[in-house]
Structure 1
Amino acid sequence: MGNRKALRDIKNMVVAPLYQCAVTKRRLTEKNNVVDKNPKFVARRPITRSFAATLTSKSQATQQESKENYEQIGNKRKHSPTVALVVSSNSLDTSTAIEVDEHLPTNELPLPMAEEMEVIESSDAKEVEMEDIVMETIPDIDICDREDPLAVVDYVEDLYSFYRKTEVTSCVSPDYMSNQFDINEKMRAVLIDWLIEVHHKFELMDETLFLTVNIIDRFLARQTVGRKKLQLVGVTAMLLACKYEEVSVPVVEDLILLSKRTYTRAEVLEMEKLIINTLQFNLSVRTPYVFMRRFLKAAQSDKKLELLSFFIVELSLVEYKMLKFRPSLLAAAAIYTAQCTLKGFKQWTKTCELHTNYSEDQLLECSMLMVDFHLKAGTGKLTGVYRKYSTFKFGCAAKSEPALFLLEAGHMLDPK
């Protein structure tokens, strides 16, 4: 029995565990059957899928050799007392009982060979290296604002997570015009296009424009309005948005002059009461602008990309059909479309996908509509946005060539 050698492979490594486990050697005493655990080898890192595949191929190659060895010593083991050695795997939650000879020297129990150890170290090193490379490709977009208290870097991710959860409250039904008896979506488009020009003339903040459009849609979704009062709704909505966003608010008389004295001061104030009560004083809503700033930061934008993105998203404000998209999706699609327009090819990084929570495929439908709006922006009667962004102040963003290849890509995905 002293010349007997341990088997090289007793199939305890045929199915390699996916996670870290230890091969434990146990010494058994015949008197009291006390198990003395003496760890001989502990894997230093998790066994990867690639190593599992390597071990599987090795074990298959040695199965024939193992079978022959078992047959040779089969007769010797018949008269020898045996005990069970249980090799457990935490990762698979299973255990394998293997019969071994009581008199078998413990130092001859099957252990990983030196070449297998090299495979573990090399394969695991490659896996760690690849993981590190992937993590390095996603930069920290807030690192430059760590010292700025207004950037609230410690809370910004929580804030935008809350914005995404609550943005649905600022949305309206995409077919609310069906409840209106005297106005339609074309009249809404004319009103929004005119308000964009008024907003530009007064040099108001971007937030004011987006809030104005949101107030109009939410009010019209709940209240029927005649066509003669539609402009009054728009003017009053801008007055409310200015009171919420601006430091210097235009006076009522200025808005009356813009409407060519169609309405009186009393009518404006009466409409203001009606709108604010209908909306239950809720002006803290998530508009596309809220997400534009964050997503542009994730895209590491320059001034050119920023202006083109706002040009595209303002074109979408005019279009009634775009109400079916959430504000965050509109913002992400506008930036994606602008990037594709400037680069001339599809451009959507992992950083943008991480911070927007939208993949390129999710943006494609909305982006195709935006490309179509860009293509037709300078034609037709509603050219307020096009003329605004054709000026030097806005970088002549409207004169950029549309990303027509996105339309072709969309038709390839959906032949209909």
Structure 2
Amino acid sequence: MPRDIHQHPVNISNFRAYLIGRLSMVLSQYAMMLVIGWQTYNIARETMSASASAAQLGFIGLAQFVPLFLLTPITGWVADHHDRRYIARYSVALQALCAAVLALATYEGWISLPLIFFIAALLGVARAFSGPALSALAPNLVPRQVLPNAIAISSVAWQSGMIIGPAIGGYVYAIAPTAAYGVSAGLFSVALLCLFLIGKVSRPQRDISRRPIAQMIDGLAYVRRNRLVLATITLDLFAVLLAGATALLPIYARDILHVGSAGLGHLAAAPAIGAGLTALWFSFRPLKYEVGLKMLGAVVIFGVATVTFGLSTWMPLSLVCLVVLGSADMFSVYIRQSLIQLHTPDEMRGRVSSVSQLTISASNELGEAESGFLAALVGPVAAVVLGGVGAIAITLAWARIFPELRLARSFDPPDIASERRSTENVT
């Protein structure tokens, strides 16, 4: 039996550098997103009403989403036809530069809404390229036998960074606004160093027989044909798009719970605690069976926690709700990312990852826009509660529309799952 079968992904130097780099990058990205939102809301409140300031949070989300939406077909094709390491390095370097500019502008006192919106758009461009490249790179770094474990670890690192990052941003901003961007720039630098430590890796064979535009469309066509991948991607899109409670944390911290920037750090840390505990559980007890039903259940819990948080005016209850929300989100993302990667051939992973990233960004950045605009119209509490109810309704509808979700017993594609069952029966 090959030795690689028993090799843990973390023991592979290329994957270890990748894992640390990706975690550092995502931590920095989401720390910056929270700080940018908080700074935007506070600057706007100096001259605008509460509803108009809430709308600015919507515009910030939109500024990051539009570049990604426009570039998605291109970035997926680029990730499948060029060295994914170099794509990731260039995009991380651009994000580090953005963090440095915001740190300098905050320190010197010339930070402004137009500058923040411009930087947000640049960050959207950088993330449009880094997401597909990094997602598609992970399977190239380990043997096929340990790929499921590597994907799970990578997904947990990504989700942990996405939820822990805002906590870092909130706490450091409470100490010094400039330091928050400085920490982000430092984390991006760590990520860049790690990406340079990744040696040469295998790349999928390039298809030169067809035009690039036709190949870009292939990613969308594959997602549409594979109903499990389609269901998984769109469930996250609509559920998290509606339930964007974390986008409104600056409003809750300042105007509803009245806990200020220090309290904002606690609110941002709460989902991180839930996500961290869930990730720790998976590290000891990897999920193997009934993954589809468990993902659906996790999204329902996510919606219930969102509704309860929206109605709460008591800080301890709000923190508990966010802990549960973060745990449920980690649970569902762990399953979703594993299903998408394992059900997609390597030569398509860049393009399918770009479609997946588009839905993730739609559910996050566009979700921020939706939450901000809705909060401006009906108030933040109603916006959060309606979003949570919508997430629950979407989950129940998807369970009926896509029976493939309910029937997904394990992470294995149908052919491998059938082979494994046959082997177990023979044994």
Higher relative contact order (CA 8 A, sep 6+): 2
Q: What TM-score results when the alignment is normalised by the length of structure 2?
A: 0.27
Q: What TM-score results when the alignment is normalised by the length of structure 1?
A: 0.28
Q: Could you say which structure has the higher helix fraction? A: 2
Mark the structure with the bigger radius of gyration. Answer: 1
